[in-house]
Amino acid sequence: MRWCFRTILVLILASPTWCQAQIDPVKRDLIQMGYNQPLEGQSPIAGYAYYYHNQPDFLRTNVTLRLALAPVYLDSEVGFVHGLGPKTDFAIGAAGGGFADSYNEIDNGQYVKGQSFGGNCCELSTSLYHLFNPNDLIPLNFVLRASAHYSAYERSDTTADNFQLPANGTTYAVRTGLRWGGIEPTLYPALAMELSVWYEGLFRVNPSSYGFNHDREIEPSSHLFWSSAALSYTLPDSQQNFFARLIGGTTVNADRFSAFRLGGFLPLVAEYPLSLPGYYYQEFSARQFALFNASYLLPIAPNQRWNLNFTAATGWIDYLPGTGQSGNSVSGLGGGILYRAPSERFRFIVNYGYGINARRDHEQGANSIGILLQIDLDKPQGAAFNATQPNRWRGWNWLLGR
């Protein structure tokens, strides 16, 4: 009973870890939920549940409000369209609450509970978004974001008594990048494309060692570089949907709090989810990685409400020392059933994943099941699932020759 209660609690209170990389011009009211359950071994609870609200013309015609809200966590931003000129927007943000900075140690397919702990946080940020080509069909945006992030760590019920927690402290971050196009924050967008390149620098005010006899270091500064290319397309007549993303990244001075983390299948848990079906959520910590994800939706009913979903992922990982497993190549496969309500306000997916290279109890291969749920509180009744919706994002139909 205690385990079931904590599972439900963490799922409900979990917060999204992605931040929008430009001001969203579309009004949205979405409820998003996702959960992964491995069938072998023990893993950290993997799930998210939050309400996403985006409101253009908030108070004034040039102000946009964005909220991602969970019961004990809030991520918010107020954006000022053309606030710094006809091509430049700026925004101020605030975030904070529980669970967001928790850390779970996973090594060679084993969840190490004694070296895992909880973490809470608060954050203030300011962002600048510059549009280079307002008259072109596909927008090219420059993003510059600065933030101050305070983390406070605490023991969980299973943290080892002689495991020293990291010291609480502040991290200053700078993130900058170029994004051409974009992906809507929804499950399986009908039409989308993106090419982007990013840098993020993390600078810690109070770096320290922690662990057993202080055997782990937190770097004074860490630097992350990554790039992404993605495409989603829906065939107009058959409504078959194809999605593919290629993403790769590298780090300088990576530690456990700045390494890229790959694993699990929770597509809206982060702005760039590093998904590997069948594996634990964030099973791998990477100094460098390359990852390819693909999915295919096939309608199987005359009204196109029921769909088969197929997913695949393969990647190469340079593991952070002290984490990972033998072999740098990892792959996973998955499949499931997606249901769309006639009003398009409701989507529900039950899926299965198989981690081909996962290590479980000295054997290879792992299985998991999961659910994904999206409720659109704002979509008009009778709206069809088709490729016309993203016309509000100029240029994607043109890019794909439609």
Ordered by start, the domain boundaries in the chain are: 2-399
Please state the φ and ψ torsions of residue 329, each to the nearest 5 degrees.
-95, 135
Confidence of residue 149 (pLDDT cuts 50, 70, 90): very high
Pairing state between β 73-80 and 329-340: unpaired
* Average of per-residue pLDDT across 191-205: 96
Please tell me the distance from the alpha carbon of residue 314 to that of residue 393, in angstroms, as a whole number: 30
Paired strand residues for 83? none
CA distance 236 to 217: 53
Question: What average pLDDT does the structure give for the chain?
Answer: 88
Which has more confidence, 81 or 390? 81
Contact partners, residue 201, CB within 8 Å, separation at least 6:
173, 174, 175, 221, 222, 223, 224
The pair of structure tokens assigned to 327 is: 């072999």
Is pLDDT of 10 > 90?
no
Lowest-confidence segment of 82-96, 348-362, 380-394 by average pLDDT: 380-394
Which CATH number applies to 2-399: 2.40.50.100, 3.40.50.970, 3.50.50.60, 2.40.160.50?
2.40.160.50
Whether 81 shows a pLDDT value over 70: the answer reads yes
Check residues 221 and 270 and name the one with the higher pLDDT: 221
The per-residue pLDDT for 18 is 44
Per DSSP, the residues of 170-224 read EEEEEEEEEEEEE--SSSS-SSEEEEEEEEEEEEESS--EEBGGG-EE--SEEEE
What are the tens digits of pLDDT across the range 125-144?
999 999 999 988 899 999 99
